[in-house]
């Protein structure tokens, strides 16, 4: 089957980007042809991409073509949309003028929709497709519907709905709720990565309930394996444009100088964040990780965006509490985001047991990630901070983001993983990747995360879900301590169980087959 897939963003980094990347890889691995519209700056860095074109009004222009070892083929088309990239959650994208959808003018939104619709028509004129798959509830489905109005053939489209578009945009704006409704109404099927997500769609758009369904899955169980650990992956994690020792030194100096001056500290953290490229691994990540992974003690790992809604600040608070019982515990934080410098500062303040600095940081709240002046949720400075528990010292490491090849080679070193998101999630894909690597994941007990925890934790003698009620940080610390207290043999058995559940229920191959069947029927 030849599929045209639309995704307005990159193919690395956040959840939906990785979802689209791996779905396309699975499709070409099964012999299908994929024409993918996205804005990734370097798609040919991915092994399954066989060509790159630009797509403008009425014309597609080849940039580069090559062969791959896959039975199918994926050609990436980069739509010409100007310099403005609308997003659901603000982040910096080099080379783009970025605005959230909620901040767009009517003219900016209209231009974005029409420019992408013209690109779809140009690609279809160049290479006809059997079906079209859109990603996100808005504006992708509406773009497809507008584009297909001028296409003679009756081309069906189905829409995959990820979480951010609903939670951060459609549910906060009647204008965008209507954009989503109009686009989704034209889809043959509406697909969510989880039953929770499907329920959210049915709740928001009850008239579309009958064509809404859930297809859970999306783990490369051949890549993420318990036996995949390979220290050689560290050799590539050096140099580049990422964060380095000078940024670490600048943060320490800023915290010392502005421990009682919130505004001054905020400016200093912002200047530090602007001094490096955040979407690549730290320049010295390989060296630090080699030392860090060589230490004794249980290793806790987090992978994901470093933004407030992902709850990493809650994890840090929980980890401080865990260290009172397990002073040998270590925490590895992998990812990027606008909250990184704030999280680094919180870690340093915890390490120094600097209650004044911690209260200054807590007082800045969500401004630490460039957000509104609201308090950090599920975060409380411990009243007994100075009672002598060990400081964090070298027990916490941030690396910046890692590509899947490096990530899958390092995850098996972990003893337990945490997915501490405090905001509704359509599905916990990263929890499934942890499980495929044989690493038991503890997940926040809500939305699609709870469903993911239920799937990979099926048959375990306890729940992987951690309640946000009654003190999330305390609950998370207790859950980590309880798990790490289990005998080694029991933890090995649980590791095998979550791996088996992930392989059986959540592979990319089965998801790709299900989507092809839907698109064709």
* Chain segment 110-132, per-residue pLDDT in tens: 999 999 999 999 999 999 999 99
Strands (E), 479-521: none
| pTM (predicted TM-score) | 0.80
| pLDDT of 139 above 70 | yes
290-294, 373-377, 510-514: which has the minimum mean pLDDT?
510-514
Distance between CA atoms of residues 138 and 204, nearest Å:
13
Distance between CA atoms of residues 377 and 395, nearest Å:
24
| pLDDT of 286 above 70 | yes
CA dihedral 62, 81, 204, 146 (to 10 degrees): -70
Could you tell me the CA-to-CA distances from 350 to 253, 347, 473 in Å, in that order? 15, 5, 14
Task: Give me the residue label for tokens 């010292």.
Answer: 393
Nearest to 518 by CA among 239, 252, 211: 211
Q: Are the beta carbons of 42 and 52 closer than 8 angstroms?
A: no
| pLDDT of 217 above 90 | no
Q: What is the pLDDT of residue 385?
A: 65
Q: What is the pLDDT of residue 392?
A: 82
Q: What is the pLDDT of residue 216?
A: 85
Structure tokens at 339: 């909250």
Q: What is the pLDDT of residue 387?
A: 47
Q: Which domains does the chain have, with CATH numbers?
A: 2-215 (3.40.50.2000), 231-242+284-339+372-506 (3.40.50.2000)
- Helical segments of 186-215, H only: 195-204
Contacts of 267 by beta carbon, 8 Å cutoff, 6+ apart? none
Distance between CA atoms of residues 77 and 147, nearest Å:
15
| pLDDT of 390 above 70 | no
At 424-473, the pLDDT tens digits run 988 888 999 999 999 999 999 999 999 999 999 999 999 999 999 999 99
Nearest to 422 by CA among 369, 479, 478, 377: 377
The pLDDT-based confidence of 389 (bands split at 50, 70, 90) is: low
Residue 465 host element (H or E): strand 465-466
Structure tokens at 68: 């791959």
- Helical segments of 140-237, H only: 140-148, 163-164, 174-185, 195-204
Phi, psi (degrees; rounded to nearest 5) at 481: -65, -40
Q: How many residues does the chain have?
A: 521
Q: What is the pLDDT of residue 163?
A: 81
Q: What is the pLDDT of residue 320?
A: 92
Structure tokens at 188: 């043959």
Structure tokens at 410: 């390092």
| pLDDT of 388 above 70 | no
Q: What is the largest CA-CA distance in the chain?
A: 73
């Amino acid at each position: 089957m030849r599929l045209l897939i639309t995704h307005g963003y990159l193919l690395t980094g956040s959840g939906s980007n990785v979802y689209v990347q791996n779905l396309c890889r699975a499709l070409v691995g099964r012999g299908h042809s994929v024409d993918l519209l996205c804005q990734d700056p370097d798609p040919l860095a991915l092994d399954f991409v066989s060509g790159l074109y630009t797509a403008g009004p009425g014309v597609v222009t080849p940039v580069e073509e090559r062969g791959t070892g896959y039975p199918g083929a994926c050609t990436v088309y980069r739509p010409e949309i100007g310099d403005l990239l609308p997003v659901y959650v603000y982040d910096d994208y080099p080379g783009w003028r970025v605005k959230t959808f909620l901040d767009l003018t009517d003219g900016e939104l209209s231009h974005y929709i029409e420019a992408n619709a013209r690109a779809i028509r140009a690609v279809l004129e160049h290479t006809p497709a059997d079906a079209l798959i859109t990603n996100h509830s808005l504006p992708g489905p509406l773009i497809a519907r507008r584009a297909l109005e001028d296409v003679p053939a009756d081309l069906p489209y189905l829409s995959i709905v990820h979480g951010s578009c609903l939670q951060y945009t459609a549910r906060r704006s009647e204008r965008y709720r209507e954009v989503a409704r109009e686009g989704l109404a034209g889809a043959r099927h509406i697909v969510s990565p989880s039953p929770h997500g499907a329920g959210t769609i049915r709740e928001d758009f009850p008239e579309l309930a009958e064509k809404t369904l859930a297809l859970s899955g999306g783990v490369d169980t051949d890549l993420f394996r318990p036996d995949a650990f390979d220290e050689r992956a560290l050799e590539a994690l050096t140099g580049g444009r990422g964060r380095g020792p000078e940024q670490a030194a600048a943060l320490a100096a800023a915290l010392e100088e502005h421990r009682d001056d919130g505004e001054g500290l905020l400016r200093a953290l912002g200047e530090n964040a602007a001094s490096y490229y955040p979407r690549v691994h730290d320049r010295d990540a390989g060296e630090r990780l080699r030392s860090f992974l060589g230490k004794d003690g249980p290793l806790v790992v987090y992978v994901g965006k470093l933004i407030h809604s992902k709850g990493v600040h809650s994890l840090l608070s929980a980890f401080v509490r865990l260290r009172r019982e397990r002073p040998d515990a270590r925490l590895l934080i992998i990812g990027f985001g606008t909250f990184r410098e704030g999280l680094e500062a919180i870690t340093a303040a915890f390490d120094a047991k600097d209650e004044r600095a911690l209260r200054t940081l807590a007082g800045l709240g969500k401004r630490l990630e460039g957000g509104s002046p609201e308090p950090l949720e599920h975060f409380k400075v411990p009243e007994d901070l100075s009672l002598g528990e060990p400081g964090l010292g070298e027990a916490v490491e941030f690396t910046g983001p890692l590509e899947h090849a490096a990530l899958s080679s390092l995850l098996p070193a972990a003893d337990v993983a945490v997915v501490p998101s405090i905001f509704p999630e359509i599905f916990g894909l990263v929890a499934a990747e942890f499980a495929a690597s044989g690493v038991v994941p503890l997940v926040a007990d809500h939305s699609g995360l709870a469903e993911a925890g239920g799937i990979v934790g099926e048959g375990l003698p306890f729940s992987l879900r951690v309640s946000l009620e009654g003190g999330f940080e305390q609950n998370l610390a207790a859950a980590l301590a309880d798990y790490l207290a289990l005998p080694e043999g029991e933890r090995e058995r649980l590791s095998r169980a979550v791996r088996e559940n992930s392989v059986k229920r959540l592979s990319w191959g089965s998801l790709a087959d299900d989507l092809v069947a839907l698109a064709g029927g």
